[in-house]
């Protein structure tokens, strides 16, 4: 891995074994983008990649050079209004009303490792030899605003982490009205755009489209990264599939309003950008003040989508997620939400917990409803004290009782919210985000607290920290169940109202940082009505997130499959829930619910006492299975094999790091009769290792399983012979393959 600057050609080359990234200082002092892709050999000069030509109807920078128009040059961090008519990466509103800027190259610096982004989540290094960081300083001579572009290249990944820091070195205030984290101009638009979109209970569905001239984008203006669009994008060549081909992944390490967009110009150049949503953002920079953008990570592969995802998984699991739980197998939990909703007493909770314990569960999680006057979702948020009618001895005593059962205890919070009917709101009605003289819209009968104010964050911290100090709490589910409306903070002046969405998220991050630092062994699970804020920003604080409120196994196939494009298996909260399922009222077999949930953190979202003896036995076996294989499942290498978006079957697998164990999950949505023979070509095995199929007892070499395939045909073909168990709808199997000495 190396970052070199070629003085004579003014070219920067960032490369490791996989990728090369080339840019140069152009004659107008701006940075031009030369190349991003598979590693190429370094040399002094690549300036010919900066193609220009004389085109009609073009505005040019120089009187005597009709070829030099920014409109037709691939750039690194394009500005607004100076011969480039495409979307800029930065816009600065100045006192005289101008929005023009002209960022000229000043200097560069190369550092070992990767500096922290203060107050923001970001990838990190543990040893400074893992990465190198290039900082390129640019300055606009009229405003004296500086932009420091930061690029970190990691030794082991085809990943580049980018961000920008602005500093007002002038004497007059300016307003940043657009400050993207990353801009990338690619020489052609021959990519398929792949996004993860959906809505509540249908998160992370994969959508593909080809790029057309004009602008296409995904984003959020809701205050949270959103169920609707994940801050992630893949650009893949049309021929790329899971096993081969070129792809670029873009991922924004941020949990608030964002935009990821691509613009195809008339000459087929592709400009991609990622950053804070410019529509809902403006930041005032007084003299001497600075602004740091969130980090964006771009990852290139020429080895197919599985490789792209595996690289993201590894980077995010080990160099974005942090703390005690990062590398630890996650406890198998039982959450009471779908078991009781708001209808519980301490006695009922203890019954559920002991039933769970008897099956092998390790952690009992008390969800919503334990605090204040919370008997429904209309009251109580903000009052983080136990409801004594339900929990006479409070949380401390309940936690002690749960621990006495031999379980760990976890608790639900929704720290950012308040109900109008709460003591917290009654004592601080002005602590919510609301615009003066305007209607205050509610969502789920709640308001959003003004986390742009330190005193608000402090007051929530005090309540949470008190409980964490007093009671034996091992896990926190941090929920967030509505998006922001009428965004305004009376604590800030009129000319800083454009900062509130971002300041809000900074407040959320600050609270997370403080709590995770003070209570390092507590396992945090992020949640926002399921996957409303399932993003890399959250992963920095909470190593796992409740991926979706939809716990139906068939729906989960799509959600988990989609999310796996970017997010590691260890980050996905996956639970077995009751049937008929509470979201889609579907009945799926218990084994299938387990077989889907194994590929995540695993837990139960029902009262296990309500199951039959036979089912409870099955649950015990599921838990024993998960305990046996969770290290492989959560920390092995994940491969997508068959997409639930494309047919009646889905499949995926995980291979252990030593390649001695593989677990294949195979799922069929609807049953068919007298169907075809089916095989699944596996991935990631050692060709010469012989694997024993634990299900059939047969042995197969890795090459056979990868190239000829694992036979998954249905033995019954619609007939049930004596003693055989019939297949039905929503069938699934887990194939365990254990490497044996040949
Ligand atoms: C959200 C979460 C659920 C549950 C409820 C409680 O919807 O996603 O898992 O915690 O809130 O109100």
Going from the Cα of 674 to the center of ligand 1, the distance in angstroms, rounded, reads: 42
Does residue 741 carry a pLDDT above 80?
Answer: no
Chain-centroid distance, C-alpha 434: 28
* Res 377: pLDDT: 97
Chain-centroid distance, C-alpha 564: 10
Residue nearest ligand 1's atom 12 by CA: 368
Instruction: Write the secondary structure of 549-614 as one string of H (helix), E (strand) and C (coil).
Output: CCCCHHHHHHHHHHHCCCCCHHHEECEEECCCCCCCCCCCCHHHHHHHHCCCCCEEECCHHHCCHH
Does residue 394 carry a pLDDT above 70?
Answer: yes
* Res 717: pLDDT: 61
* Res 713: pLDDT: 87
User: What is the arithmetic mean of pLDDT over 467-482?
Assistant: 98
Average per-residue pLDDT for the chain: 97
Catalytic residue among 140, 383, 549, 552: 549
Nearest to 623, CA basis, from 353, 338, 358, 350: 358
Going from the Cα of 605 to the center of ligand 1, the distance in angstroms, rounded, reads: 11
* Res 234: pLDDT: 98
Catalytic residue among 140, 368, 479, 714: 479
Would you give the DSSP letter of residue 332? P
Of 524-533, 562-571, 609-618, 672-681, least confident by mean pLDDT is: 672-681
HSE value, Cβ hemisphere, 13 Å, CA-based, for 218: 24
For residue range 339-384, list pLDDT tens digits in order. Answer: 999 999 999 999 999 999 999 999 999 999 999 999 999 999 999 9
* Res 719: pLDDT: 62
Residue nearest ligand 1's atom 11 by CA: 529
User: What is the arithmetic mean of pLDDT over 435-450?
Assistant: 98
Would you give the DSSP letter of residue 231? E
Does residue 76 carry a pLDDT above 70?
Answer: yes
Cβ neighbours of residue 118 under 8 Å, at least 6 residues apart? Answer: 292
For residue range 655-669, list pLDDT tens digits in order. Answer: 999 999 999 999 999
Judge whether 479 counts as a catalytic residue.
yes
585 vs 613: CA distance, rounded Å: 23
* Res 718: pLDDT: 61
Helix, strand, coil in percent for the chain, rounding step 5: 20, 30, 45
Structure tokens at 181: 């984290």
Choose between 726 and 456: higher pLDDT: 456
87 vs 599: CA distance, rounded Å: 40
Whether pTM > 0.85 for this model: the answer is yes
Going from the Cα of 531 to the center of ligand 1, the distance in angstroms, rounded, reads: 10
pLDDT category at 1 given cuts 50, 70, 90 is confident
Q: How far is CA 364 from CA 284, 407, 408, 445, 474, in A?
A: 46, 6, 6, 28, 10
Structure tokens at 674: 């007298």
Please, what's the largest Cα pairwise distance for the chain? Answer: 89
* Res 603: pLDDT: 98
* Res 476: pLDDT: 98
536 vs 534: CA distance, rounded Å: 7
* Res 725: pLDDT: 72
142 vs 605: CA distance, rounded Å: 60
User: What is the arithmetic mean of pLDDT over 60-87?
Assistant: 95
Does residue 435 carry a pLDDT above 90?
Answer: yes
For residue range 538-551, list pLDDT tens digits in order. Answer: 999 999 999 999 99
Residue nearest ligand 1's atom 8 by CA: 529
Does residue 673 carry a pLDDT above 90?
Answer: no
Give per-residue burial for 590-617: e unless 16+ CB within 10 Å, then b: bbbbbbbbbbbbbbbbbbbeebeeeebe
Nearest to 283, CA basis, from 168, 184, 163, 183: 168
* Res 676: pLDDT: 87
Within 357-426, strands assigned E span 363-366, 408-413, 417-419
pLDDT category at 680 given cuts 50, 70, 90 is very high
For residue range 681-734, list pLDDT tens digits in order. Answer: 999 999 999 999 998 899 999 999 999 999 998 766 666 556 667 778 999 999
Please state whether the peptide bond connecting residue 303 to the residue before it is cis, i.e. omega within 30 degrees of 0.
Answer: no
Does residue 674 carry a pLDDT above 90?
Answer: no
Going from the Cα of 479 to the center of ligand 1, the distance in angstroms, rounded, reads: 7
């Amino acid at each position: 891995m190396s970052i070199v600057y070629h003085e004579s050609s003014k070219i920067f080359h960032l490369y490791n074994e996989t990728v090369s990234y080339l840019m140069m200082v152009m004659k107008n002092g701006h940075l031009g983008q030369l190349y991003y892709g598979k590693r190429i050999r370094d040399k002094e000069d690549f300036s010919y990649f900066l193609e220009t030509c004389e085109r009609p109807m073009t505005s040019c920078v120089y009187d005597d050079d009709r070829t030099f128009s920014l409109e037709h040059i691939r750039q690194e961090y394009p500005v607004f209004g100076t011969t480039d008519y495409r979307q800029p990466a930065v816009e600065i509103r100045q006192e005289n009303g101008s929005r023009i800027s002209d960022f000229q190259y000043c200097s560069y610096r190369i550092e070992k490792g990767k500096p922290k982004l203060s107050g923001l989540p970001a990838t990190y290094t543990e040893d400074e030899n893992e990465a190198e960081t290039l900082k390129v300083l640019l300055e606009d001579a009229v405003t004296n605003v500086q932009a420091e572009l930061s690029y970190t290249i990691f030794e082991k990944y085809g990943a580049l982490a980018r961000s920008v820091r602005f500093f007002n070195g002038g004497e007059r205030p300016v307003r940043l009205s657009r400050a993207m984290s990353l801009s990338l101009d690619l020489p052609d638009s021959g990519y398929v755009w792949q996004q993860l979109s959906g809505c509540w209970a249908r998160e992370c569905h994969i959508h593909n489209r080809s790029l057309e001239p004009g602008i296409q984008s995904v984003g959020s203006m809701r205050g949270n990264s959103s169920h609707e669009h994940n801050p992630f994008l893949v650009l893949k060549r049309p021929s790329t599939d899971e096993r081969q081909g070129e792809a670029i992944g873009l991922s924004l390490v941020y949990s608030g309003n964002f935009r990821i967009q691509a613009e195809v110009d008339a000459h087929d150049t592709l400009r991609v950008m990622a950053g804070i949503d410019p529509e809902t953002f403006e930041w005032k920079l007084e003299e001497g003040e600075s602004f740091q953008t969130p980090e964006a990570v771009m990852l290139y592969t020429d080895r197919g989508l599985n490789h792209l995802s595996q690289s993201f998984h590894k980077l995010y699991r080990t160099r974005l997620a942090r703390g005690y739980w990062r590398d630890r197998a996650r406890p198998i939990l039982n959450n009471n939400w779908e078991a009781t909703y708001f209808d519980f007493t301490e006695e009922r909770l203890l019954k559920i917990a002991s039933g769970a314990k008897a099956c092998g569960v390790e952690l009992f999680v008390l969800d919503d409803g334990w605090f204040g006057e919370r008997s429904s979702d209309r009251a109580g948020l903000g009052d983080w004290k136990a409801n004594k009618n339900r929990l006479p001895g409070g949380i401390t005593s309940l936690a002690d009782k749960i621990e006495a059962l031999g379980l760990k205890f976890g608790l639900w919070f929704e720290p950012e919210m308040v109900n109008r009917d709460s003591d917290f709101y009654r004592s601080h009605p002005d602590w919510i985000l609301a615009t003066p003289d305007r209607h205050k819209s509610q969502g789920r009968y709640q308001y959003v607290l003004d986390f742009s104010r330190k005193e608000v964050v402090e007051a929530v911290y005090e309540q949470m920290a008190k409980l964490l100090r007093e009671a034996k709490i091992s896990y926190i589910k941090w929920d967030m169940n509505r998006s922001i409306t009428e965004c305004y903070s009376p604590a800030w002046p009129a000319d800083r109202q454009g900062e509130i969405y971002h300041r809000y998220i900074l407040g959320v991050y600050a609270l997370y940082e403080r709590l995770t630092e003070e209570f390092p062994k507590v396992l945090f699970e992020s949640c926002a009505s399921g996957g409303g804020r399932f993003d890399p920003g959250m992963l920095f604080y909470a190593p796992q997130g409740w991926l979706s409120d939809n716990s139906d196994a068939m729906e989960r196939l799509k959600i988990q499959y989609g999310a796996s494009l970017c997010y590691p298996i260890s980050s996905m909260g996956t639970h077995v829930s009751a049937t008929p399922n509470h979201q889609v009222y579907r009945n799926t077999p218990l084994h299938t619910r387990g077989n889907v949930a194994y590929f995540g953190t695993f837990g139960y979202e029902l009262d296990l006492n309500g199951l039959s003896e036979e089912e409870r036995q099955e649950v015990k076996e599921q838990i024993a299975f998960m305990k046996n294989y969770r290290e492989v499942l959560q920390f092995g290498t994940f491969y997508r094999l068959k997409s639930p978006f494309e047919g009646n079957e889905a499949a995926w697998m995980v291979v252990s790091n030593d390649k001695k164990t593989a677990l294949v999950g195979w799922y069929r949505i609807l049953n068919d009769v007298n169907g075809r023979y089916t095989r699944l070509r596996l991935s990631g095995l050692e060709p010469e290792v012989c694997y024993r199929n634990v299900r059939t007892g047969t042995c197969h070499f890795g090459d056979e399983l990868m190239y000829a395939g694992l036979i998954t045909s249905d033995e019954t073909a619609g007939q049930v012979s004596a003693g055989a168990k019939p297949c039905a709808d929503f069938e699934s199997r887990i194939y365990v393959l254990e490497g044996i000495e040949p």
